[in-house]
A and B are shown apart, each in its own frame.
Chain A
């Protein structure tokens, strides 16, 4: 469906390309891409990921310093599948060449061609599972001699590739059979600085698995999810928007810690129809690391880390910032690597800080000061004061008083803690042939999501 795939540098000049089919695309269509980008930039700030010129549609994503794009003249192509594919391409290339950027693409022409041919045929996505691709695309362009040993005639597509269990090769053996589960919850939250009220909060959780198991094990995961344990589905909260509050009440009434996960998403390996019918999560895991499932929760949360910032702007002379940060979680827990990004006017300089904990750095490129605290114990409260000089000539663009200030952003990690209260009850591992003993390990961590911010 996609006619071709291009890798372009930041200016939009092609580095590498593969044409999958002849769709009456003009050969030089790609040359227009950089111009389109520039034209757009001149006109408006909005740069949607779909551009059109002369009947050719340009679908692109950006990654590091490259654009990856496909072109198509047709309107009836599946655009979701196209974008997803582009992301998967990046993902696969990342596994092969670590960082995907202009230089690494130039260094790895051959392998990238080979991968592109394997991942897509005639515009139809085929195989994007890195673990399987690695089984038979073994070429390492920069380690010529080593790869020679492997090659010979043994390189064949693995049989499982086209099986229904296409993600796991047969014959995996480990001396010690282990499975590691990481439950990672990312918190996105918008807090109003003035009132301290939470305007929006969500938990995006992921269960990541590192499987080191032999053979073809069948796993069954038990969680304390309400939907999973009691078969009652979440129909009762269709009406009214106070469903959130309703859920909370339910929890309180029942008094147990069963929680309700929304929007579950599962890895390819999970038997979806079994989950739909019996509410059990069963799967044959791929070997190594993968994300088994993700979920989202919209229960109202209290801010885990609250930051209160007071600005005193003396126009044309200086700005004073007093900031207090408070950890609102239990005393047992600790937040690690707390990073608080406090925006300052773009034209401020000569910073001067007073603080008792952590370290503070001025980052002029981000127009902010960054306060880092290695360990923030639950219940503690720290403060800092800083002062920056303002130029005597006012610049309207970076003026804080005319426009709203950008939000304060906070990053953190709290190990051994889940905000939602999700718990792994069990992980049953059953390998029908080998019958080995196995050890599941579970770890919990809560961290800031990509948007944990305090509006001012």
Chain B
């Protein structure tokens, strides 16, 4: 209950009030009457009601003239209300706003800076080019206003004009804005002027302006940093990040100015400073200087873990980029990334990703870290959420590969303790087999017990691969493979490919009819062009020489895993050029998607990327990729993004392979050399016969068949090329040869 005196006061004030009240119905006619009421209070209420109706989505533009009549008033508050109303229609109903232009112009001379501000701001938002003739004079005047509050608004207005009248806008930039950067003494105005200039990029290239040593802008910005508001600092740091230091001294100067801001309370200031420091640290040749700054950066990054989850998410994504450049930077602090019970899932997954990367990067005590991390993972795999369990299982396999001494323990956990996701466990276990065959027996046992429960394409693909590699370990080998062959058409692309290769490899065990059936289905019924290609290639091998295919399988079957190169790492990495670009755009939206922004990707870079066969947007699910791809393709602006698009179309393959395709690829290439030699020796006659048959396509595949995994990679690769230039076998082969 409100206190008595309050009640009395309310009663009195209601009684004293003569002005009629506006009813809450908000009908247009009633509002119109009230807007013209002789009582100021009623008019004001009516404006408020109008705004309310507007927000609710009702079209109150018909009241425009009525509201406008209320504009000429001495009451600031009422004026503000009218401006609010006008602003809302400034973009949608510009033709109405032009009516008020005279009032705007006179308000630009109002003694109250607040009014001057509102007038100029609103005027610049009206999207009618005719208004330009009215705007120019007041805006120029406001740019020179005594009051910094007005100036700070006016400088932003300049960039607002760009879309309406480019010429005028650029004139103003050169006449006012750029000189202001050098002469303006007020930090807020300065930072807003900078922000405004940055909006006009690339028409006005603020980057060259900052890097131009004939002016003092960079010094000015560095000096303003301490005086600015927090948002001003964000802007200034953003622009300093574009400054390229000339030498070590210069870089050190920049760093020393910026380093204190790593301790600002605003996360945007912190990440902005991190970006600047990291960029300039590279210029420091004396390593001690660099190492004294990096711990500061690390501590700033760690402190981002006490911010709200959305910001943690952004920070984690950025940390992912940073640790790739400086792998040891956070290793000491790895415990901070252990999951908290009430973290949102998206934060948990990112944390695991970071942990997997940073654990064990230091020089000493790695084993202790690994063990501690494994202990945590043990907890996580028993959680409810499938995504979290999946990620933890993958972390375990990465850990087993990073630290072989833990791999027996991990295999035991995966085979006995994780019950909720056989698919993911099997994939993880197969990764471990690709690294070491140490625990093969328990893995094979596990595979036999879960082989009926697998759902995912990628896990089935892995199962078939494992069986094909070690047929002797599976007593029911032919039966299970037979079942897979029977259901060939229902399986996903990865599994189909895997079946095809396994059957060819082991056709002696399985018998000719199964081989024939598989090749038949592969060449006719698969929807995937690579599988059809592959099947047809094997058909031809068969038709050339019956013994050819046996030779192929003996090549692959010499000793279990004997020939296959071991994988040493399952953690995805960015290719060098992408990493370089990403480091430059820390804290941007692009950094969250790990997506370099267009302009950076010059043709040269993208060519390099092509060669390296990189994919920068992996680690996302198919739907997201597909969406991205669509938009990218529609843009179709440069080759780099084209590549993404293609990969996204192959998203199934990429994701299904699940392991880090491209990293392995580079590993595999090492292995391919060896394979090449051996197969060349064995099959040199054979190769020439194929050459003479001019079936060029099979060469690539011939090598590929020696290695199941490699096949898939090459096919991805094939796909990329196929999508670029319609299936064109000579071109394809050329590419493949290049790759070798």
Q: Does B195 contact A (CB under 8 A)?
A: yes
Given contacts A46-B349, A155-B77, contact A268 B264 (CB under 8 A): yes
Q: Does A392 contact B (CB under 8 A)?
A: no
Q: Does B75 contact A (CB under 8 A)?
A: yes
**Cα of A81 to Cα of B314 in the assembled complex, Å:** 10
**In the complex, per-residue mask of A57-100: 1 if CB is within 8 Å of any chain B CB, else 0:** 10101000000000010111111110111010000000000000
| 6 A-B interface contacts by CB (under 8 A) | A47-B346, A49-B310, A144-B45, A145-B13, A265-B270, A403-B384
Residue in contact with B199 in the complex, picked from A122, A200, A291, A298, CB distance below 8 Å? A122
> Which residues of A from 2 to 37 have beta carbons under 8 Å from B?
15-16, 19, 21-22
Q: Does A365 contact B (CB under 8 A)?
A: no
* Cβ contacts under 8 Å, B311 to chain A: 80, 83-84, 87
**In the complex, per-residue mask of B111-143: 1 if CB is within 8 Å of any chain A CB, else 0:** 011100100010000010000000000000000
Given contacts A44-B387, A152-B75, A241-B365, contact A453 B341 (CB under 8 A): yes
* Cβ contacts under 8 Å, A296 to chain B: 302-303, 306
Min CB–CB distance B376 → chain A (angstroms): 7
Q: Does B295 contact A (CB under 8 A)?
A: yes
Given contacts A72-B589, A74-B589, A125-B231, contact A16 B271 (CB under 8 A): no
**Cα of A141 to Cα of B47 in the assembled complex, Å:** 12
Q: Does A402 contact B (CB under 8 A)?
A: yes
Residue in contact with B41 in the complex, picked from A54, A144, A263, CB distance below 8 Å? A144
Min CB–CB distance A78 → chain B (angstroms): 6
Q: Does A391 contact B (CB under 8 A)?
A: no
Majority secondary structure of chain B interface residues (helix, strand, loop or mixed): helix
* Cβ contacts under 8 Å, B156 to chain A: 121-122, 124
Q: Does A161 contact B (CB under 8 A)?
A: yes
**In the complex, per-residue mask of B188-199: 1 if CB is within 8 Å of any chain A CB, else 0:** 110010011001
Residue in contact with A265 in the complex, picked from B51, B265, B272, CB distance below 8 Å? B265
**In the complex, per-residue mask of B288-314: 1 if CB is within 8 Å of any chain A CB, else 0:** 000110010001101100101111011
9-residue interface stretch from B517-525, B591-599, B700-708, B710-718 = B591-599
Nearest CB in chain A to that of B622: its residue: A43
> Which residues of B from 214 to 240 have beta carbons under 8 Å from A?
226-231, 234-235, 238
Q: Are B74 and A50 in contact (CB under 8 A)?
A: no
Residue in contact with A78 in the complex, picked from B75, B234, B376, CB distance below 8 Å? B234
* Cβ contacts under 8 Å, A15 to chain B: 55
Q: Does B580 contact A (CB under 8 A)?
A: no
**In the complex, per-residue mask of A316-331: 1 if CB is within 8 Å of any chain B CB, else 0:** 0000000000000000
Q: Are A268 and B627 in contact (CB under 8 A)?
A: no
Nearest CB in chain A to that of B384: its residue: A403
Q: Does B7 contact A (CB under 8 A)?
A: no
* Cβ contacts under 8 Å, A145 to chain B: 13, 17, 41
Q: Are A79 and B314 in contact (CB under 8 A)?
A: yes
* Cβ contacts under 8 Å, B365 to chain A: 240-242
Q: Does B371 contact A (CB under 8 A)?
A: no
Q: Does A243 contact B (CB under 8 A)?
A: yes
> Which residues of B from 415 to 442 have beta carbons under 8 Å from A?
419-420
Residue in contact with B335 in the complex, picked from A16, A43, A110, A200, CB distance below 8 Å? A200
> Which residues of A from 259 to 278 have beta carbons under 8 Å from B?
262-268, 271-273, 275-276
Q: Are A162 and B48 in contact (CB under 8 A)?
A: no
Min CB–CB distance A233 → chain B (angstroms): 8
* Cβ contacts under 8 Å, A441 to chain B: none
Q: Are B597 and A76 in contact (CB under 8 A)?
A: yes
* Cβ contacts under 8 Å, A356 to chain B: none
**In the complex, per-residue mask of A107-125: 1 if CB is within 8 Å of any chain B CB, else 0:** 0011001100100011011
Q: Are B342 and A61 in contact (CB under 8 A)?
A: no
9-residue interface stretch from B145-153, B505-513, B664-672, B678-686 = B145-153
Residue in contact with A114 in the complex, picked from B80, B229, B419, CB distance below 8 Å? B80
9-residue interface stretch from B64-72, B255-263, B404-412, B602-610 = B255-263
**Cα of A154 to Cα of B112 in the assembled complex, Å:** 9
**Cα of A192 to Cα of B727 in the assembled complex, Å:** 59
Q: Are A124 and B346 in contact (CB under 8 A)?
A: no
> Which residues of B from 332 to 376 have beta carbons under 8 Å from A?
332-336, 338, 340-342, 344-346, 349, 362-365, 368-369, 375-376
Which residue, B160, B187, B341, has most C-beta atoms of chain A within 10 A? B341
9-residue interface stretch from A210-218, A370-378, A404-412, A431-439 = A404-412
**Cα of A104 to Cα of B212 in the assembled complex, Å:** 51
* Cβ contacts under 8 Å, B159 to chain A: 122
* Cβ contacts under 8 Å, B48 to chain A: 110, 141
Q: Does B733 contact A (CB under 8 A)?
A: no
Nearest CB in chain B to that of A188: its residue: B340
Q: Does B650 contact A (CB under 8 A)?
A: no
Residue in contact with A451 in the complex, picked from B117, B291, B342, CB distance below 8 Å? B342
Q: Does B20 contact A (CB under 8 A)?
A: no
Nearest CB in chain A to that of B111: its residue: A153
* Cβ contacts under 8 Å, A113 to chain B: 51, 55, 84
* Cβ contacts under 8 Å, B41 to chain A: 144-145, 148
Q: Are B188 and A87 in contact (CB under 8 A)?
A: no
**Cα of A144 to Cα of B19 in the assembled complex, Å:** 12
**Cα of A268 to Cα of B264 in the assembled complex, Å:** 7
Residue in contact with B271 in the complex, picked from A59, A80, A144, A265, CB distance below 8 Å? A80
* Cβ contacts under 8 Å, A101 to chain B: none
Q: Does A446 contact B (CB under 8 A)?
A: no
Q: Does B98 contact A (CB under 8 A)?
A: no
**Cα of A148 to Cα of B658 in the assembled complex, Å:** 66
Min CB–CB distance A309 → chain B (angstroms): 15
Q: Does B694 contact A (CB under 8 A)?
A: no
Q: Does A395 contact B (CB under 8 A)?
A: no
The number of residues on chain A lying at the interface, defined by a beta carbon within 8 Å of a beta carbon of chain B, is 107
* Cβ contacts under 8 Å, A52 to chain B: 593, 624, 627-628
Q: Does B385 contact A (CB under 8 A)?
A: yes
Q: Does A294 contact B (CB under 8 A)?
A: yes
Q: Does B590 contact A (CB under 8 A)?
A: yes
Q: Are B303 and A121 in contact (CB under 8 A)?
A: no
> Which residues of A from 401 to 449 have beta carbons under 8 Å from B?
402-404, 406-407, 409
**Cα of A267 to Cα of B230 in the assembled complex, Å:** 10
Q: Does A45 contact B (CB under 8 A)?
A: yes
Which residue, A121, A242, A263, has most C-beta atoms of chain B within 10 A? A263
Q: Are B302 and A77 in contact (CB under 8 A)?
A: no
* Cβ contacts under 8 Å, A202 to chain B: 336
Q: Does B621 contact A (CB under 8 A)?
A: yes
Q: Does A55 contact B (CB under 8 A)?
A: yes
Can you add 8 more A-B contacts, CB < 8 Å, to A80-B314, A122-B159, A122-B199?
A53-B627, A76-B585, A81-B268, A126-B192, A156-B114, A162-B189, A276-B260, A450-B340
Given contacts A124-B156, A156-B114, contact A80 B306 (CB under 8 A): no
Q: Does B186 contact A (CB under 8 A)?
A: yes
Q: Does A256 contact B (CB under 8 A)?
A: no
* Cβ contacts under 8 Å, A109 to chain B: 51-52, 55
Q: Are B295 and A238 in contact (CB under 8 A)?
A: yes
Given contacts A124-B195, A141-B48, contact A403 B265 (CB under 8 A): no
Sort A-B residue pairs by CB-CB distance and give the 7 closest, nearest first.
A272-B260, A263-B303, A162-B148, A81-B268, A164-B227, A404-B382, A276-B260
Q: Are A110 and B81 in contact (CB under 8 A)?
A: yes
Q: Are A75 and B341 in contact (CB under 8 A)?
A: no
**Cα of A237 to Cα of B292 in the assembled complex, Å:** 11
* Cβ contacts under 8 Å, B593 to chain A: 50, 52, 75
Nearest CB in chain B to that of A162: its residue: B148
Q: Are B621 and A84 in contact (CB under 8 A)?
A: no
**Cα of A219 to Cα of B309 in the assembled complex, Å:** 33
Given contacts A48-B313, A241-B332, contact A162 B152 (CB under 8 A): yes
* Cβ contacts under 8 Å, A124 to chain B: 156, 192, 195-196, 231, 235
Nearest CB in chain A to that of B13: its residue: A145
Which residue, B160, B265, B300, B338, has most C-beta atoms of chain A within 10 A? B265
* Cβ contacts under 8 Å, B263 to chain A: 264-266, 272, 275-276
> Which residues of A from 127 to 151 have beta carbons under 8 Å from B?
127-129, 136, 139, 141, 144-145, 147-148, 151
